[in-house]
Structure 1
């Protein structure tokens, strides 16, 4: 393989089996660009963490080759790959101070004391913990420990940092705060990051690109906004964000548009994305915020019966019965429009064809 200055990691037809029979990673191919924040996202057991462990060197690939900076690394031990790691459990040395934890990866690389001290100070400043240098990990909060773990992964200035569900042990508010902090550190340093999580909102917040895993296969690899707005299959549509689904049969395809007869008998128009041919079953995907009350300007006009109204501050979450489904969600902006909504009453709803995607059936 020729070195490509823009590609830092390449997975080439990589497979992984733990028992010699079942593949937990199936023919994985991906190029990770230098300086990008790439997230491997998927449910438990989908293969994302296994891919990260193979890149780190903690698991061998069963088949295929992994390249780092254009060089094959399958046979390179973890400590010689020069990769920073951040784990969910922090993995800090409890008997060392914060400064000693940060100094450790520098000392094993043979740096002199003055250089070590300088780099440790810079790393502590970066995560806003200069006053914690003398403390032990047990004397820090969970968020502070996680900051130290991030600093330790970055202190020796690696080309690549791997993060395995690093925020999983934090409470919701601190988790969101750390998401932005890690994102800003990445932007500041320009280091390449490969991040693993099962939290789709976390992935959308932090990433340049997201690889959505299911059953050992990448279902879609794209920027966050593309995954959300243009899911390529039913799994991605369901896994990324909140999604309304309606089922029916393709009655006609004309160019990029599919005419679909829903199971309730209603006929709607949708983008023909991944729905097979005429006569095939399909799942329609419509995001809740794309549905409007009233049908003015809508190419698809239906009727919804209000089942439940939940006040969420900036919007009202309205659960409706639509075309025989009682779990159809409409996000209504918190304005005078919602005042007319009453549980048990029917109201016209609609959406434009471009906001409805005809996909495969899960």
Structure 2
């Protein structure tokens, strides 16, 4: 997303809260701006507040406190059907008694468009999702992937500026799901529509999004682009939730500029980038990605000792589970190429990493 889009806030959540029982806040003081034309994903575990935020934006839930604005206008009191927002759900929500073309025509008929306009727009929408030949079929005569394409076409047929997607690919098998991720991403790039997407699948979020808002316990933990979230998590929750991550526990022994010296609970002292680790004496969690770990003599002078516990062949890489500093769940991804010697279970080897690839985070 460009800086211009970030400045041009199309969707705004200002101090938004949501409680269902008047006591527990499901969404806590949410402030979030979404740029025009942006693809923003709300990512988090079940119960983190992401779907509630989407439902408040759609108008199916009402904010307990705060304002939601669309293109500068407050929409808190505008009913869902008057917000002009396209919606795509996991269960497709197609009318079973209508043909595909009739399903697509429905939102246009509600808006009282002429028959000629409806026919043109339905044809264009079917073309968009490569389903032109299926207009006369009923939803039950389509596969899951085809039904999801039609649900997507129906959300786009009236040319909304904002489309909301709630776990739209959750019911599809892995291969089709991955294919549809690219289709939706390319459709977004072509149309320039603003998309707010909800998922608990972090690889899906990384693949599709301009920015990702990582939710936990009703609060955005970090809001950034996919590469920043993966490479520079700001806290232990984000590090654990986005991608695979090794964690080693210790205490801060010293702070040296932007780095910290950490005394591991079950091992020697190591140096790490001080991100969110508190002061001297505070407990911390070290975060290091499996593909950033260096094995063997290249590990350097500050290397730790690692013992191979398990090897799993995964085609393009070998997943090596090791015991490091008392933790036997330390994962190293070894590329499957001739440059890397094959390790054996039980073998000991030095392991290390570039200091700045290891991040000292909160101990939570």
TM-score, length-scaled by structure 1: 0.97
**Structure 2 counterpart SS, 1:340:** coil
The structural deviation recorded for 1:123 is 0.5
The structural deviation recorded for 1:265 is 3.3
Distance 2:361 2:213 in 1: 19
Quote the residue 1:302 is aligned against. 304
Distance 1:295 1:235 in 2: 32
The structural deviation recorded for 1:190 is 0.5
Contact 1:163 1:193 in 2 (8 A): yes
Q: How does 1:1-362 map to 2 (within 5 A)?
A: 6-296=8-298, 298=300, 300-362=302-364
Alpha carbons of structure 1 residues 227 and 5: separation in structure 2 relative to 1, 3 Å: closer
Distance 2:252 2:300 in 1: 20
**Structure 1 counterpart SS, 2:98:** coil
Could you tell me which runs of 5 or more consecutive residues in structure 2 were left unpaired when the two chains were aligned. 1-5
Could you tell me which runs of 5 or more consecutive residues in structure 1 were left unpaired when the two chains were aligned. none
Distance 1:329 1:22 in 2: 38
**Structure 1 counterpart SS, 2:298:** coil
Distance 1:298 1:241 in 2: 26
Quote the residue 2:3 is aligned against. none
Distance 1:340 1:40 in 2: 40
**Structure 1 counterpart SS, 2:95:** coil
CA RMSD of aligned residues (A): 1.1
User: Could you list the per-position Cα deviations for residues 242-298 of structure 1 after superposition, in whole angstroms to 9, with x for gaps in the alignment?
Assistant: 000000000000110000000113110000000000000000000000001124264
User: Could you list the per-position Cα deviations for residues 197-246 of structure 1 after superposition, in whole angstroms to 9, with x for gaps in the alignment?
Assistant: 00000000000000000000000000000000000000000000000000
Aligned pairs, number = 359
The structural deviation recorded for 1:300 is 3.8
Distance 1:178 1:83 in 2: 21
Distance 2:191 2:361 in 1: 40
Moved over 2 A (4+): 295-300, 336-340
